[in-house]
Amino acid sequence: MNNRHMLQHVKDRISSEKEALKKQIAFLEDLESALEMVEDLQRKVPDIHGLAKLIDRVDQIGRDVDMMKLRRGEPIAPPPPPMLVSTSPVARVGGKRGPKSRLDGHARLLLSMLSKAPGVYTVEDITEMLSMGKPAAIRIIRRAAELDPDHVKITTGSRRKIFVHYHPEGVRDIHDNIDQVKLELMEMASGMR
């Protein structure tokens, strides 16, 4: 009886080991097919970084064309809505021009954009519109206000929030201390460098 019991125990153990091996083989086969699917997806999906660089380059070329049109005095297309603007930095204008004339060029581009869609903007809106960092956008806003003081006014709201007003008929009716706003803008721009 002992032999029979031992023999049955060995048979049970062998069958349980077979089942465990079958499960392991099935798992490994599933893992292998999953890896094959990942390889297929990698071949089918384009390079995301390359696509992002291409989109940024197209945006840069569009801004360069707008700058060239602006220099020639030609009208430019209105800017896309803020949520569709790329987050790439605005292209630097090359050549022998100094930083002041680059700043003037960006300020004129901003003025042209604002003239197409007059209204009140926050610094964050303009930062997004220009696809630049906040310090650079603040410098451009300040320069735009200096270039066109009849149409551009900078004001502050609660919690030092800065607003840029552009009105085609003029901004004489907006009441705020412009010198205080300029000082705060200067502090903010110098503090973020």
Instruction: Show the low-confidence residues of the chain (pLDDT under 70).
Output: 1, 42, 44-48, 50-51, 70-71, 73-100, 170-183, 191-193
DSSP 48-69: HHHHHHHHHHHHHHHHHHHHHH
pLDDT number for residue 47: 66
Q: How many domains does the chain have?
A: 1
Is 11 contained in some domain? no
Q: Is residue 133 part of a domain?
A: yes
Q: What is the pLDDT of residue 193?
A: 52
CB-side exposure of 181: number of CA atoms within 13 Å?
Answer: 23
pLDDT in tens, 49-77: 766 777 778 877 877 777 777 667 666 65
Q: Is residue 169 part of a domain?
A: yes
In a domain, 3, yes or no: no
Query: Which amino acid is residue 177, in one-letter code?
Result: N
C-beta of residue 192 within 8 angstroms of C-beta of residue 135: yes
Whether 96 is covered by a domain: the verdict is yes
Q: What residue numbers bound the domain in which 82 lies?
A: 48-191
Look-up of token digits 């009140």: 120
Tell me whether residue 13 is in a domain.
no
Residues 6+ apart with CB under 8 A from 99: none
pLDDT in tens, 98-107: 556 788 888 9
Residue 37 placed within a domain: no
| Residue 113 in domain | yes
**Given phi > 0 = left and psi -120 to 50 = alpha, else beta, which region is 48?**
alpha
Total-model pTM: 0.42
| Closest-CA residue to 148 (of 127, 118, 185) | 118
Please tell me the predicted confidence (pLDDT) of residue 61. 80
